[in-house]
Amino acid sequence: MKATARCTIVPPYLLVRLARLDDPRFAAAAEAARQSLLRDIPLREHRAAAHPLPPALAVRAGAARQRGRIDRSIWDAVGLERLPGRLLARAEGWPPTSDPAVNEAHDGLGETHTLFWTRFARDSIDDRGMPLEASVHYGRKYDNAFWDGERMVFGDGDGQVFNRFTLSLTVIGHELTHGVTQHTANLTYAGQSGAVNESMSDVFGSLVEQHARGQTTAEASWLIGEGLFTEQVQGVALRSMKAPGTAYNDDVLGKDPQPGSMAGYIDTEDDNGGVHLNSGIPNRAFYLVAEALGGNAWEAPGQIWYDTLTGGALGRRVDFAGFARATEAAAAARFGPGSREHAAVRSAWHEVGLGLSLPARAPSE
């Protein structure tokens, strides 16, 4: 039994705006947003007692395993809020079911595992073969998805503004990357370090999708949460890494508020100090590195960001300047000082307003 903060994909400011609607046409969506916000209070409710593994999973857990081998289990919460869920819907090696949310979650866990294992030799979230669990159909019309420190949890959306959250592969990759961050740099989820935390999840969430689709930097959408909005919303996704602030512009939800450079930095106490807002700045920097280098973003750009996350140089409360220095140091270490990759990283941070006076050295906390 423990209480932890949820790392959610939908920022609270978006749900707050939706919850305050008094338009009768969106009454159901407003109520769903209010209920979702109540579930997402940082000091969340105590989790239900651990559910025993079924025999098939218990055997796999106790047996010797091959490094890099995936072990997935998808649970069905059937509209309740007990985790992991009421029913085991699909386990590793089981065939697809008739439930699209179960299959999407299963496949998304697989694509995320594939990226981290094949490109970075990371053996699951903790690099020690951690089984990957997800719960679908959490709550009634729950407008979010989150990582709770142990598993992925998906809501079905309200049907008016949000679709089911398993629809987006970037959402699945994003939330599982919170687990990778938890087991590596363990960045404090507040202020600039929290925005770096969110950006890391956006970066690798996007790379999971690009890798699964075989998309180059030029071919990728660079959208986070594409497909989550229903046709009633004027918007394409929750966030755009390529052009922060352009993902949606809707009469109900308002305009995407993310800045793409330090010139638009938002100083706020809301949203854990703007973790979903100011993450647009490092997001844009990563995109600029990928654009400058071309080809596949999961190669040199992704490797630099992965080295930065896992290399031990980041303090838990690292700020944007410290993170920028760390990525420059990682690029220089892997590809050489003055290399094309190193130059691309320095240029990207300069363009978002963080490169003018950064020494080429690793940061300390």
**Which residues are marked as active site?**
175, 276
Distances (CA, A) of 196 to 90, 218, 317: 33, 24, 10
3-state secondary structure the chain: CCCCCCEECCCHHHHHHHHCCCCHHHHHHHHHHHHHHHHCCCCCCCCCCCCCCCHHHHHHHHCCCCCCCCCEEEEECCCCCCCCCCEEEEECCCCCCCCHHHHHHHHHHHHHHHHHHHHHCCCCCCCCCCCEEEEECCCCCCCCEEECCCCEEECCCCCCCECCHHHCHHHHHHHHHHHHHHCCCCCCCCHHHHHHHHHHHHHHHHHHHHHHHCCCCCCCCCEECCCCECCCCCECCCEECCCCCCCEEECCCEECCCCCCHHHCCCCCCHHHHCCCCCHHHHHHHHHHHHHHCCCCCCHHHHHHHHHHHCCCCCCCCCHHHHHHHHHHHHHHHHCCCCHHHHHHHHHHHHCCCCCCCCCCCCCC
Distances (CA, A) of 305 to 75, 159, 186: 32, 36, 15
**Side-chain-side CA neighbours of residue 322 (13 Å):** 17
CA distance 322 to 314: 8
Cis peptide before 282 (omega within 30 of 0): no
Distances (CA, A) of 162 to 94, 201, 235: 29, 20, 11
